[in-house]
Structure 1
Amino acid sequence: MLPQRVSAAGDPDIVPIEFASFHDQTFKNEYLQFMNVTIPPGQIAAYHSHTRDFAQVYMAVSDAEGTPLGGKPSITPRKVGEVLFTNYTKKPGVHQVANVGSSDFRIMGFEIFDSEPGRFTPLARPAPYAPVMDNHRVQAWRLILQPGEAAPAMQQAAPGVRIVVQGGMLVEGIEGKPDHKLNLKYGDFAWQNTGPVRTMRNVGTSTVELVEFELK
């Protein structure tokens, strides 16, 4: 069944992103609010507004039809694990998103509360961390570890978030503290403070994929 789209004619109701259908605000602090968005097949997140810069990871893809207010619907193909940043502070937007596919459409992402960057400066990270985003607001890396592989020490120089694209068993080593074993699941989210120097080691039997963001 196709979703019942809301017509832009006649001044439709527009809500902030945190009140949009299927948008779950799962975390909020002084820096950002984190959104977990899952739109089932045949459902629609009706018109909602974006006024703050937004970074996201595609967690499950389907035919998601986006319609800007006053515009025409379109579908942009996406891949699981793909990252995207939208500069809504510079150009606010209003749209609705209809899942016209046959499976869930899911993103995990966050709005940045500060309207201007400049409070933090992320540091470079060694391989196998791979940079996937670097702009005036955020920097992001993808970390993929096969069983038995490890990532060398790096420092969290700016606060940020971790999103788990593929879960598994990791040991996180933080300087000056005992090793910390983590049983990460697909779709897990963690807030990460500044300061710690850490290593990561895959001690499980499955590939682990993380996307980690640091604020600027």
Structure 2
Amino acid sequence: MKYLKLSSLSLLASLNVFPLVIPSASFAAEKEPVVATNLEPDHHVILENQYVTVMRVMIPPGQSTLFHEQHLDYVNTHIDGSPVRASYPDKPVKDFEMKSGNVKFGNHQGHSEVDKITNTGTTLNMQIAFEIKQAGPLGFGGSSRPALPAFQQVLDAKSVKGWKVTLQPGESSHLYTQKGPGVRIFFTEGRVLEAIPDRPNRNKETWVHKGDAMLTAAGPVEIINGGDTPLIFNDYELQ
């Protein structure tokens, strides 16, 4: 009598039994890609110079950013906040609220962080954020603002300082000197008058909207609210 030698797989097939195949971890749960912050699709680069990259971040309700790496000092101004969920590759998720008007500073020089943000609210989450391209402080000197009720300091880090400025209609910031470059971010719309140095009563006039941003430079500064409603903005200066 001749015997037919079957392979184990053939034998299992003949018995209509199949081995359980367990996929590898990399196959079962591939890692999501990680991109640089300024390449993340919800981070729209709107301004840039040798010092900073300024981004308008817009996350619709129920949607998420990609995982993105922040490896530079990072200032985030919440224009339209919402509840969010932060997910990380190596630690539990965190639920919290980004409140409109708040400022978050990320001290990421030398120790980067990767996260993904999901808008768990029902309205658009919009932020104006900027990365500081070089490790600070850069040596521009200690900045300051006039000791007036219009100025409220909201950030004091080694690489950048920030003030919330509220000017009533017709009110002036009074003349002061900005020592380093910076970023100005507006919470309200209105007409901004900027005094032109050494030209009395000559002003540069700009109309701004909520969520607008502009780059600023070192030098003498005087800002006047040229509109008929309060003008509110955050003024940041690199150190």
Q: CA deviation at 1:81?
A: 1.5
1:188: which partner in 2? 212
Aligned to 1:31: 51
Amino acid at match of 1:91: H
Instruction: State the partner residue of 2:194.
Output: 172
* 2-structure distance, mates of 1:162, 1:118: 19
Counterpart in the other structure of 1:4: none
Are 2:155 and 1:133 aligned?
Answer: yes
Give 1:205 shift. Answer: 1.7
1:199 paired residue number: 222
TM-score normalised by the chain length of structure 1? 0.90
Gap runs ≥5 in structure 1: 1-8
Kept after mapping to 1: 8 A contact 2:135/2:159: no
TM-score, reference length from structure 2:
0.82
Cα shift at 1:114 = 0.8
Aligned length: 207
- Give the SS at the match of 2:68: strand
Q: CA deviation at 1:61?
A: 0.8
3-state DSSP of counterpart to 2:65:
strand
Q: How many Å separate the matches in 2 of 1:138 and 1:76?
A: 25
State which structure, 1 or 2, has the greater radius of gyration over its C-alpha atoms. Answer: 2
Separation in 2, partners of 1:125, 1:116 = 20
Deviation digits for residues 25-78 of structure 1, max 9, x if unmatched? Answer: 112221111111000112110211111110111011112111122222222223
Q: List structure 1 segments (4+ residues) > 3 angstroms apart after TM superposition.
A: none
Distance 1:180 1:73 in 2: 47
The 3-state SS of whatever aligns with 2:38 is: helix
Structure 1 equivalent of residue 108 of structure 2:
88
* 2:39 partner letter: F
Deviation at 1:170, TM superposition (A): 2.4
Q: For residues 125-183 of structure 1, give each alpha carbon's deviation from its aligned partner in whole angstroms, at most 9, with x where no partner exists.
A: 11222211111110111111122322111111110111111121222213213212221
Distance in 2 (CA, whole Å) between partners of 1:121 and 1:165 is 27
Instruction: Give the unaligned 5+ runs of structure 2.
Output: 1-28
Q: CA deviation at 1:118?
A: 3.2
Alignment-derived partner of residue 40 in structure 1: 60
Higher deviation after alignment, 76-85 or 159-168: 76-85
Identity %: 27
> What residue in structure 2 maps to residue 3 of structure 1?
none
Query: Over aligned residues, Cα RMSD in angstroms?
Result: 1.4
Which residue matches 2:81? 61
Distance in 1, matches of 2:64 and 2:236, equals 28
1:159 matched residue in structure 2: 181
Query: Quick one: distance in 2 between partners of 1:39 and 1:64?
Result: 10
One-letter amino acid matched to 1:175: P
The question of whether the paired residues in 1 share the 8 Å contact of 2:165 and 2:232 is answered with yes
Give CA deviations for 1:2-45 in whole Å, capped at 9, x if unaligned: xxxxxxx5322111111212111112221111111000112110
In 2, Cα distance between the equivalents of 1:122 and 1:210? 21
8 Å Cα contact 1:61-1:106 kept in structure 2: yes
Separation (CA, whole Å) in 1 of partners of 2:231 and 2:160: 23
The aligned residue for residue 213 of structure 1 is 236
Indicate conservation of the 8 Å contact 1:143/1:209, yes or no: yes
- Structure with bigger helix share is 2
